Amino acid sequence: MRVENKDIVNGPIDTVYKIVRDDLSKLVEFMPNISKIECKERSEDNGKIHILNHWFAKGEVPAMAKKFINPDILSWKDVAVWDEATKTVEYRLESFVANSIFSVRGKNTFKSAADPSKTELLVVCDMEIYPDKVPGVPRLLAGTIKPVIEDFIGRLLKPNLTSLAQGLNRYLAKQ
């Protein structure tokens, strides 16, 4: 499934880009289902910044899947490469539970809007979910529980990809 979202952020490009790259954890209170974001690694190589963030979502595992699903499914690794020259970030998300339960790769592009005090944020992401590969789900139940798990994982990931600009606007308005 492809997720695309274009929004305007009420802040200049340099400010917006640096907040998302360097201070992502400050946006947590403005993200729909995130309890915390921790920066675990940061390095620079050939003019690009490599960042590993750990995201922790808040949410309830569906009742039908609760006895099979590890609560760690509510968290993931965000492996990102930031390019200052193009004001872009390319990323992939990895599960803490098993790398094979979803494949998420994307690119966010930050551009100056017509009004230089604003930034256009374009989020483009390809997301595939493989609920039948979730550890602990018995093969006999995999077919039955698959749509429940797929919907659950999608509801965890998608809002945070599409609501970043809204969270940034709320954060900047509070400053």
Identify the pLDDT of residue 26. 94
Q: Which CATH architecture has domain 2-174?
A: 2-Layer Sandwich (3.30)
Task: Locate all alpha helices (DSSP H) within 9-163, ordered by sequence.
Answer: 13-22, 139-162
> How far apart (Å, rounded) are the C-alpha atoms in residues 85 and 50?
14
Residue 161 has a pLDDT of 67
What are the beta bridge partners of residue 119? 9, 112
Claim: this prediction has a pTM higher than 0.75: yes
* Mean pLDDT in consecutive groups of 10 residues from the start of the chain, 175 residues: 88 97 93 89 95 87 66 83 97 82 90 96 86 69 69 68 84 93
The total number of residues written for the chain in this structure: 175
State the pLDDT at residue 15: 97
Domain boundaries, the chain: 2-174
46-71 as b/e, with b when 16 or more CB fall inside 10 Å?
Answer: eebbebebebbbeeebeeebeebbee
